[in-house]
Amino acid sequence: MRPIDNWYFEKDEPVRSCLQFLRTHISQLHPSISEAWKYSMPFFCCDGKMFCYLWIHKKFKQPYLGIVDGNSIDHPDLIVEKRARMKILLLDPAADLPIEKINFILMTALKYKITNRK
């Protein structure tokens, strides 16, 4: 089993299902998005550049969607904490995912990434 697949597999329910859904959803969002294993965590890249990632918050024990260059996105539910470049969206794995909010944030981040290609 690949390390990235094992990372998802070792999570308990309902976190595993939440993360697996996000994995599929993000991968299918746009043709320029690809999955990668970086820094021992699942990342998604846009044209080879880091776009977003999935992780578990240490304090809250909740999965979250991390947005690379999230500091360029203004959304009230994105949290900065001690990050300079990233913002995160905490998710409750036991509740219905806020898919419209997730899509809005991801599409805003994608537009930023595509507009600012280098």
The CATH number of residue 23's host domain is: 3.90.1150.200
| Mean pLDDT of the region 70-99 | 94
Tell me the C-alpha distance between 40 and 100, whole Å. 29
Tell me the C-alpha distance between 118 and 115, whole Å. 9
Q: How many domains does the chain have?
A: 1
Per-residue model confidence (pLDDT) at position 37? 97
Average pLDDT of the chain is: 94
Higher pLDDT, 83 or 24: 24
Percentage of the chain beyond pLDDT 90 is: 86
Per-residue model confidence (pLDDT) at position 117? 65
Q: Find, among 71, 46, 67, 45, the residue nearest to 55 by Cα.
A: 67
| Mean pLDDT of the region 101-115 | 91
Own/partner pairs for 25-30, CB < 8 Å, 24+ apart? 25/99, 25/102, 26/52, 26/106, 29/103, 29/106, 29/107, 29/110, 30/110
Give me the domain span that covers residue 64. Answer: 3-115
